[in-house]
Amino acid sequence: MNAVADTAIFFGKFLYYFLESLVFKIIPKGKKNVSGETVLITGAGSGLGRLLAIHFASHGANLVLWDINQEGNLETCRLAKEKGDVKVYAYKCDCSDRREVYRVADKVREEVGDVTILINNAGIVTGKPFLEIPDHMVEKSFLVNVMSHFWTCKAFLPAMIKANHGHLVCISSMAGLVGINGLSDYSSSKFAAFGFAESLFLELTMIKKTKVKSTIVCPYFIKTGMFEGCTTKYPLLLPLLEQEYAAKKVFNAILEEQVYLLIPKFSYVALILKQIISPKMMIALGEYLGMDSCMTSFTGRAKAKELHPEAERKEQ
């Protein structure tokens, strides 16, 4: 194909998709029916994972709940069952352990069947300056925040591809799009999670498996306790997100098969500015927004569990 024809086709597609996106801004997309779908949520024992489980149960989806905290996981199981006549399965799983992920995944396929919606939500944060982070905690951050995504997708994606039906959900972070002071290990692992999810989305598109959907979520700090003590200078621009608000946004994005979700909306503006302004201007903007000091009073769950970071595994 010559360059002229190739360029003409590109502009035709670009214009068509631009007009399509404008139409969907005015007329919202229809929401898919998740009744009867099998939804696996990692980090389901509390916070965002628990609320997503309750939303899916309310809409008739069957649930597979994973968490290292079995007590919290069983409580989520109980709450989900109260929301409807759905099947709920709770499994204890350490998502940082590849062998355990594969072992529990085999058990799920045997006892439940194929997973059709996979939500990689489990995450940990240390919240320490770079030189104060022990090596094992750096490794743990990457194992839980991104490597577990590779393993769960390897376990459950083949069945989705075979059926050309499914949905992959990555809970990344705004810290996976913009580096944040005091979050070097967390931010870099979330960058990696975002890159993996986006690359996989494109790969599925190229192999024509367009019925296997992807949703990549990048929220600012959510009030789950994971970021306890974090502050925001201007809540109207960058609010600390309420759990229920964030859960509803994520749930609706999945139902609408939205590929990218950034919350709050100011995040879109900040991301665009990052690409066009100078580094010094970016630092000035960060100082204005309080990004340089937001982690100063961070406590999280680490104060009580510094020696056992795996016990902090909760949601983004």
Q: Which residues are catalytic?
A: 186
Give residue 210's identity as a one-letter amino acid code. T
Taking the C-alpha atoms of residue 147 and residue 115, their distance in angstroms, rounded to an integer, is 19
- Going from the C-alpha of 179 to that of each of 29, 120, 132, 152, 280, the distances in angstroms are 33, 21, 18, 26, 14
3-class DSSP state for residue 260?
Answer: strand
Angle at 216 between CA 214 and CA 219, to 5 degrees: 155
What element of type H or E holds 267?
helix 266-276
Instruction: List all residues 6 or more positions away from 13 whose beta carbon is below 8 Å from its beta carbon.
Output: none
CA 15 to chain centre: 30
Check residue 92 and report its DSSP letter. Answer: E
Q: Are 100 and 124 in contact (CB under 8 A)?
A: no
